[in-house]
Each structure stands twice: as structure tokens, then as C-alpha cells.
Amino acid sequence: MKLEFDPAKNARNIRERGISFERCADMDLNTAIAVEDARSHYGERRVRLFGMIEDRLHVGVITYRGDKVRESVYGGQTSERNARMRKNPSRPEAENPEWTEEDFSRARPALDVLPKQVVEAIRRYRGQRGPQRTPTKELISLRVDRDVVAAYRATGPGWQAKANEALRAYATGAGLGPRARTRRRRIRRTVGAKRS
């Protein structure tokens, strides 16, 4: 399966809600909850998500049919979303209405609601590399100052790779890591042998 979205809808979502559909891949699916959208017969499965992207709560809608997963609406933090909705009263949130008590009572963990292939498509979108025989990168959780993240994101696509390169340059320059420890041991042995 492949994650995709309509570029025009994405641009509108950024303008109206302040978030790109690409950020769907950043939602923490391990803690998110989801509910099937059964308000109407859509001709495809629709799931409404409620979960964290970084340190903010977001809501979203994804649809899937065949080998395609599409995002249609992603909203920012609830208070910001409500403020934007008041500014645009002519655009009701029909696709992604505010969650009700009934929605919360029917919701289950997102990983239980979404098929495995959909979860893999969302997670794979982060790097667009697909399955690897020997992963070369490790997925970690790292708290970074917001201004630093904003500066890297502002550089555009590939910002994570640029941040990785900056960390690598620092680690190499500071002599961190297993290779550096081995090199320091060799230097100590050489210096120790010369003193004897």
C-alpha cells in the first residue's frame, strides 16, 4: 500500500489548519485511538484518528481502498482548531467533526483498528525506503528545542537527513562513538609504549 494525498487539499489544509498531510506519518500510532467513520456509505473505509504528533494532540481522517491510503483532513490542536473554525464559519467540519462522547466510547487503539498494511504504509512514508534487509538507521524518540526543529524543517524535504548529518559531524568531531573509543585506546597504547 502507498500513502498519498491530493496536493490541492493539502495546500488548503495547511492554509486553514496549519498542518500538512505529510505529518500523518509523524502521528504516534502506538498511543493513538481510532474509530471507523460509519456516518455514511463512502465506498471506501474511513477511519478517524485522535493522537499525538510531537507534543500536540491532532485529529485526522484517512481512507483506504485497494493499495492506496489517502489522507483527507488533519486538524491541529483542539483549541487552535476551534479558533480557526470560528474564523471560517462557512466551512463546517463535515469530513472531520469534533469527537463526541459516543466516538470516544467506540474508539479503540489505532493499531487494532487499522489493517497492518495501512500502518506499514504510514510508517514507511516517513522515509519512503520500504523494508530493509539490514536497517542502517534507528528510530528513536529525542526531545529537541522547537526553534531547532523549526529551523531544520524550514530547509524543506530531507530535513531529517540534514539533522542526522549535523549530529554525525558533531559526534565525529567530539570523538564520540565506538570507533572513536577504539582509536583513543590505540593512541594510548602507542603513547604508553613510547614512554616505556
Euclidean distance between the first and the last CA atom of the chain, given in angstroms as a whole number = 65
User: What order do you get walking across the sheet with 108-109 strand by strand?
Assistant: 2-4, 68-75, 56-65, 45-53, 33-36, 108-109
Average pLDDT score over residue span 59-66:
80
By percentage, how much of the chain surpasses pLDDT 70?
A: 67
Predicted confidence at residue 151, as pLDDT, reads 93
Each domain of the chain, given as residue ranges in start order, spans: 2-125, 146-195
- For 149-188, the pLDDT digits (tens) are 999 989 888 888 889 889 888 888 887 876 655 655 666 6
pLDDT exceeds 70 at position 44: yes
Lowest mean pLDDT among 1-15, 44-58, 66-80, 116-130: 66-80
- For 90-146, the pLDDT digits (tens) are 444 666 778 889 889 999 999 999 888 888 877 766 655 444 455 567 778 889 999
Average pLDDT score over residue span 12-36:
84
141 CA to centre of own chain: 12
Cα torsion angle, 136, 70, 57, 156, sign:
positive
Distance, in Å, from the CA atom of 84 to the CA atom of 66, rounded to the nearest integer, reads: 34
Predicted confidence at residue 130, as pLDDT, reads 46
Mean pLDDT of the chain: 76
Answer yes or no: are the C-beta atoms of 33 and 17 closer than 8 Å: no
pLDDT exceeds 70 at position 82: no
Lowest mean pLDDT among 13-27, 48-62, 108-122, 161-175: 13-27
45 or 95: whose pLDDT is higher?
45
